[in-house]
Structure 1
Amino acid sequence: MKNNNWMFLFILSTFLTFNSCTESKGNQVNMVSSEEMKKIISLDETQLIDVRDFNEYESGHITDAQNIIYDEDFEANISGLDKTKPVAVYCRTGGRSEKCASILKKAGFEKIYELEGGYEAWTYKDNLE
């Protein structure tokens, strides 16, 4: 009987150690290129968020993007979004969107995409085509 208890404890501790070392696949921030972002936002359920300030947003933004500014109210302002639907986030070059993606992850959003290089990379890529 003692051997069974030790075996059970060994298996349990191995399982717990393995699970604590792996990250959940459903709550990761995925860095995506402009091409990948175009495919992602073409899906109806994707929530596209521009986190730049109002003037930056007004000077040009990705079609159908919501302007939810990265400021002290960001966490409260994302509360109206659906955590079960994919969310794609971008800023000018990637600094603010990285912080916002982290906040979205902590808030429990399931699928998070961040545009690599931000809006500048998006517009640069469009100008090449």
Structure 2
Amino acid sequence: MPNNIIIMAFFSFLLGAKAQNSHIKVLTPQEFKQQITGNSLQLIDVRTAIEFKSGHIKGAKNMDFFSSSFKAQLEKLNKEKPVYVYCRSGNRSNKAAHVLAKMGFIEIFDLKGGFLNWKE
């Protein structure tokens, strides 16, 4: 009987974690580019200011993932509208996407491979 409880708890954990992240979709650069053509867009670059200044996607707002004010900046976004997020390689943006999901954002799109894969 105790083994059944452990097994059930394990599967509940796995399914719960998957459901929690169901709001995050990783898009190829082509998909990302097609979707960011809208007017009411929340496009977030989570790289440092120096990285951002060296080149970024047109219309992106810089919110440094490592900044102490990162979460406060995210709070200013509209949770009802899609959020498109990217970084240099996809690592920070993936972490940022999970932060957004925990904060209650509904639609989160992450650029696969980050800015390194982006071609204007």
The partner residue of 1:38 within 33, 37, 40 is 33
**Shift of the alpha carbon at 1:43?**
1.5
**Shift of the alpha carbon at 1:88?**
0.3
- Indicate how the Cα distance of structure 1 residues 24 and 75 shifts in structure 2: closer, same or farther if over 3 A, else same: closer
The partner residue of 1:76 within 72, 77, 84 is 72
Mapping of residues 13-92 of structure 1, within 5 Å: 23=19, 28-71=23-66, 72-92=68-88
1:49 is aligned with what amino acid?
A: I
CA contact (8 A) 1:40 1:46 kept: no
**Shift of the alpha carbon at 1:81?**
0.4
**CA-atom RMSD in angstroms:** 1.9
CA contact (8 A) 2:20 2:101 kept: no
> Tell me, which stretches of 5 or more residues in structure 2 are unaligned?
1-11
TM-score, normalized by length of structure 2? 0.80
Larger Rg over CA atoms: 1
What percent of counterpart residues are identical? 39
- Indicate how the Cα distance of structure 1 residues 53 and 29 shifts in structure 2: closer, same or farther if over 3 A, else same: same
Distance of 1:90 and 1:107 partners within structure 2: 18
Give runs of ≥4 in structure 1 deviating > 2 Å.
Answer: 20-25
Instruction: Considering fraction of residues, name the structure with more helix.
Output: 1
